[in-house]
Structure 1
Amino acid sequence: MKLTHRWLSIVEGCLLVALGLHILNSAELLISGTAGVGMILFRITDLSFGQLFFLLNLPFYILAWYTLGLAFTVRTFVSVSLLSALSELMREYVYLSIHPVLSAALGGLLVGFGLIILFRHNASLGGLNILSVYLERRFGIHASKTTLVADVAVLLAAMIFLDLSQLGYSLLAFLLLSSVVGRYHRPPIWAQIPMTESKS
């Protein structure tokens, strides 16, 4: 029962994040982390966002395996793969036309709450999420702080591709995501266990 609950929660978290990212992509806005990098590269390559997101995360599985354990790595790989697949499905079948302000608000909130669900079940969406969980477990640095630093880096890179209004709306999405994670995320028990004892 516990195992079923965990995987259902991971699926639900991925659905929330996928919908949030699709809303943001539909309005040509960005979000932080690996997803934000994928959104930028989506504008200059022939690959879809789902394909880019999956490929960008591949190197981070090594870090996850050696620092956060096999179980975390497997859940993260499944989460990333599921999100990539859901993103492809939504790109094909879900059509949206939403004002950028509402897109930024909904997108940021959905991604934020989706990430919290994944964090609470010892999973992530790779990339920055892996780094955030590692820093939180190893050094006690709250995940929202790492997310905020990444927000700024992605926003600076996005200045090349977005106009001022898009940057402003994307910043709103960034702030809402960081606010949700900062207010609702609480390091779970596994994050308080020494790393040498929690890799199984």
Structure 2
Amino acid sequence: MTATLSASKPSDTRHSVQEDVFAVVIATAMISFAVMLLRQAGVMTGGTAGIALYLHYTFAVPFGAAFFMLNLPFYYLALRRMGRVFTFKTFCAVGLVAFFSDRHALFIHIDQLQPLYAALVGNALLGVGFLMLFRHKASLGGVNILALYIQDRYGIKAGWLQMGVDISVLLASLTFISLPVLGVSVLGAVLLNFIIAQNHRADRYSA
């Protein structure tokens, strides 16, 4: 009986196409809302999204367009190392975040938003959204692809590698944000990567 249950487990836990589509749409809507909170408060984050925010703050480039374009070079690595399905899901997720992130302002405007609140809540939402994508074999491209590949290949947790990259991006943002805002941005990045490191583990989840 035990052998039969073990043999049937992988097929029982594999996500269906409908589940993947629903998860990717919900995760990207959540992530794009989190980006809106960070933008409204002038808070930074790390990774590819942080670079896109840097371009947005410094050169007034629309976040969605910058985010989509920055991810283009990483699809080759995703295709070669992670497979066609992962690459397709990631391409869709990046496109949806790029689309949603510039649309939230049409429906909601926040007149006052405390940076610490935006950093903590925004990065918590980012963490949950990332976990949804990871568990449905997708990501937000860029550094996420590199971090997931290194985790799968060498066993280094994706969250810790992401944290190192994020801190570097945040330090570069000192050219246009104050030290207090940098401080809450770093705190938010630590929270985000702690959430990923604690919850994205191959030995705890398989689908």
Q: What's the TM-score, normalizing by structure 1?
A: 0.91
Q: Give the letter for the 1:150 counterpart.
A: V
Q: Structure 1 residues 117-126 or 169-178, which shifts more?
A: 169-178
Mapped contact 2:94–2:140 kept (Cα < 8 A)? yes
Match of 1:78 among 79, 82, 92: 92
2:72 counterpart (36, 55, 58): 58
Alpha-carbon displacement from aligned partner over 1:111-145 (angstroms, at most 9, x marks no partner) = 01100000000000010111011111111111111
In structure 2, the residue matched to 1:138 is: 153
What percentage of aligned pairs have identical amino acids?
35
Q: Alpha-carbon deviation of 1:189?
A: 4.0
Mapping of 1:51-200 within 5 angstroms? 51-96=65-110, 97-187=112-202, 188-189=205-206
TM-score under structure 2 normalisation? 0.88
Report the AA paired with residue 12 of structure 1: I
> What is the one-letter code of the residue matched to 2:84?
L
Displacement of 1:147 in angstroms is 1.1
Q: Distance between the aligned counterparts of 2:60 and 2:121, measured in 1? A: 27
Partner of 1:29, secondary structure, is coil
Stretch deviating more after TM superposition (52-61 or 148-157): 148-157
Distance 1:124 1:95 in 2: 28
1:172 Cα offset (Å): 1.6
SS in 2 for 1:43: helix
Structure 1: which amino acid aligns with 2:182?
L
Give the paired residue count. 190
Matched, 1:47 2:66: no
Q: Which amino acid aligns with 2:25?
A: V
Aligned to 1:198: none
Residue 23 of structure 2, aligned match among 3, 6, 9: 9
Instruction: Provide, for residues 52-79 of structure 1, a one-character-per-residue CA deviation record: whole Å limited to 9, x for no partner.
Output: 0001001111111111111000000000
| Equivalent-residue separation in structure 2 for 1:99 and 1:7 (angstroms) | 34
CA RMSD of aligned residues (A): 1.4
Gaps of 5+ in 2: 1-14
Q: Matched residues in 1 for 2:118 and 2:129: separation? A: 16
Structure 2 residue 46 is the aligned partner of structure 1 residue 32: yes
Which of 1 and 2 has greater Rg? 2
Runs of 4+ in 1 over 4 A off after TM superposition: none
Q: 1:45, 1:34 → 2: CA distance?
A: 16
